[in-house]
Amino acid sequence: MHRLMYTLNDLALMTMLSTRTLRTYIKKGLLQGTKRQTGWLFTEMDLEHFFEEPYIKESIEIKKRALINDFVEGNNPGCACMIYDYRCENESQAQELCDKLICKINVLKGRNIRFSFAYHKKSKIGRVILQGEARVVSKLMNQCIMEE
């Protein structure tokens, strides 16, 4: 079952945008959420509206391309980059995979895992991009896929 609320750090992890950039988007009204004592929280609907913004889509795509280009150009020696397209019956199933990855990555604090996730409604594909230590990236992806 997927989560009902996401933190600013969860969103930063999903998009590869900094929390500072995300706070700027909040101030500009591009990102809606609820401010609590513990920080910002976002619903799936908040994220859906945010991801529909053309400017945001472009920013995230630029980050994804940079992640892959850095790997291909050898800018992160000792790292592995894994791109996995996962066929999903619906958006909810894709979101569950994303949620599992976020939870597992959050446990691995300090492991410098870079992560991107996008669901393509038309093709019903959830695309996961993970970059980090090869052993950790492989284990992380296998854990999430095996649980399906």
The answer to whether the pTM exceeds 0.85 is no
Structure tokens at 95: 């979101």
User: In this predicted structure, what is the pLDDT of residue 90?
Assistant: 85
Residues with Cβ within 8 Å of 75's Cβ and at least 6 positions away in sequence, in order, are: none
CA 86 distance to own-chain centroid: 14
Give residue-wise pLDDT tens across range 68-116.
888 889 887 888 888 888 888 888 888 888 888 888 888 877 678 888 8
Q: What is the pLDDT of residue 40?
A: 95
Greatest extent of the chain over all pairs of C-alpha atoms, in Å: 42
Sign of torsion over alpha carbons 105, 106, 110, 113:
positive
60-84 per-residue burial string, b: 16 or more CB within 10 A, e: under 16: beebbeebeeebeeeeeeebbbeee
Q: What is the pLDDT of residues 23-75, one digit of tens each?
A: 999 999 999 999 999 899 999 899 889 988 998 989 888 988 888 888 889 88
Number of domains in the chain: 1
Residue 148: is its pLDDT beyond 60? Answer: no
Query: What phi, psi does 34 have (nearest 5°)?
Result: -120, 125
C-alpha pair distances (Å), 134 with each of 14, 107, 111:
20, 17, 11
Domain extent, residue 53, equals 5-146
